Structure 1
Amino acid sequence: MTTIFEALKDYLQLNLDTEPKNPLHVGEVMSCWIYLTIMDEASIYIQVGLNTSTDDDVIKSLDESYKQCDIQGQRFRNFLKVEGIPLPPTSEQRPLSNANAVPLGVKMTDDEIMNGLSIKTVAAITHCAASVSQCVRNDVATMFTQCMLEKMKFGASLKDLMRKRGWIKVPPYYYPPGAPTSNS
């Protein structure tokens, strides 16, 4: 059975070769520019997390996310250069440091690191989905679809680890008035 994402990807790739390459419209430029910024700034956050945590599972997730951000960022960086779009300014890379040398009042907990990574992953997925819906050029929509699917796959593994460790932040449950509760 074909999933909706596979169908969308197939449709976009089918029309990719026959589509004329019009200039990017301002929405596509802005979406690409913002996504590159999201990837670059997430990389900085991940570097801080790597300099803070000593937990093997956290470090593994951060490494995986860092590689993904780097690959996706480079994909958009190359694309914007080809299209003649100036690249966004971003924060400076962080040097490696010893996690045990970070003062406790400054050091993020593993829970904080992973919840921050989770929020950044959700923001990237949401941005990709919104961008796909606004794209006129199929090549741009395909890039965002690919990135969204990669982020969703990573997000699923991140959620599993966070659930296993008790780090997921769950909003209060909502019980509509008059609905039966589990206590009844």
Structure 2
Amino acid sequence: MGVLSGNPKDEPMHYGEIFCVWQFSTVAKGALSCYQAYKNHAGDHELKNLLGDLIDQANNEIKECDKLLNDNGIAPAPLLPERPPVKLEDIPVGARFSDPEISAKISQDIALGLAACSQSIGVSVREDVIALFVKYHSLKLTAGAKALEMSKEKGWIIPPPLQVKRPEFVEA
């Protein structure tokens, strides 16, 4: 019986898995802080709801990843201080993030998170670690679809150049 042939939770994590989980937790802690600030800046109700969902998801990612790290004797990065709620009107206009800016940034974060989940799935050999990142990937797909739909509805999305007329090819 090999070292990786029992209960996955009893198997050691390899360095790639450790780094992926540690990095994911650390990035989630940074995202949590940013999303709390963005929620203070957001004026649109739907955007605030999406930010609330992303804050909840970041908290879950932190809790689960940090537990996995602690269970394997690895110290996670520290949490950042929680941001206090602020009234939108108290933020000066020139210092305020606009709703389209916030939407674009969270869409970028979701896209990067999907790539990170895919990489972590590919690196991992423990089934429980793979399952964790498959779950996160699925949740990020759902959040990304909500963000895209909202950005389209609100007119916030800036599409890349569109090919309206296709060139005609001449057969020789």
What is the TM-score normalised by the length of structure 1?
0.82
Q: Which residue of the partner structure matches residue 105 of structure 1?
A: 94
Cα contact 1:52–1:100 (8 A) shared by 2 = no
Residues 133-184 of structure 1 deviation map (CA, whole Å, 9 limit, x = unaligned): 1101111111000110011111111110011111123222369xx8339xxx
d(CA) in 1 for partners of 2:34, 2:161: 28
TM-superposed CA distance for 1:19, in Å, is 4.7
Q: Which residue of the partner structure matches residue 10 of structure 2?
A: 21
Equivalence map 1:127-138=2 (5 Å): 127-138=116-127
d(CA) in 1 for partners of 2:82, 2:100: 23
Change (3 A) 1:118 1:67: same
Change (3 A) 1:61 1:19: closer
Is it true that 1:179 corresponds to 2:161 in the alignment? no
Residues 20-40 of structure 1 deviation map (CA, whole Å, 9 limit, x = unaligned): 833111111110011111211
Equivalence map 1:49-60=2 (5 Å): 49-60=38-49
Q: Which residue of the partner structure matches residue 74 of structure 2?
A: 85
Q: What is the letter of the counterpart of residue 179 of structure 1?
A: P
Cα contact 1:39–1:69 (8 A) shared by 2 = yes
Residues 100-126 of structure 1 deviation map (CA, whole Å, 9 limit, x = unaligned): 110111100000011111111111111
Cα contact 2:9–2:128 (8 A) shared by 1 = no
What is the TM-score normalised by the length of structure 2?
0.87
Change (3 A) 1:136 1:106: same
Equivalence map 1:1-184=2 (5 Å): 19=8, 21-173=10-162, 179-180=167-168
d(CA) in 1 for partners of 2:36, 2:44: 14
Question: Runs of at least 4 residues of structure 1 off by over 6 A?
Answer: none
Change (3 A) 1:21 1:100: same
Q: Which residue of the partner structure matches residue 10 of structure 1?
A: none
Task: Indicate the larger mover: 107-116 or 76-85.
Answer: 76-85
Change (3 A) 1:86 1:174: farther
Q: What is the letter of the counterpart of residue 89 of structure 2?
A: N
d(CA) in 2 for partners of 1:147, 1:65: 12
d(CA) in 2 for partners of 1:37, 1:180: 50
Equivalent residue pairs, number = 164
Change (3 A) 1:145 1:97: same
Cα contact 2:33–2:80 (8 A) shared by 1 = yes
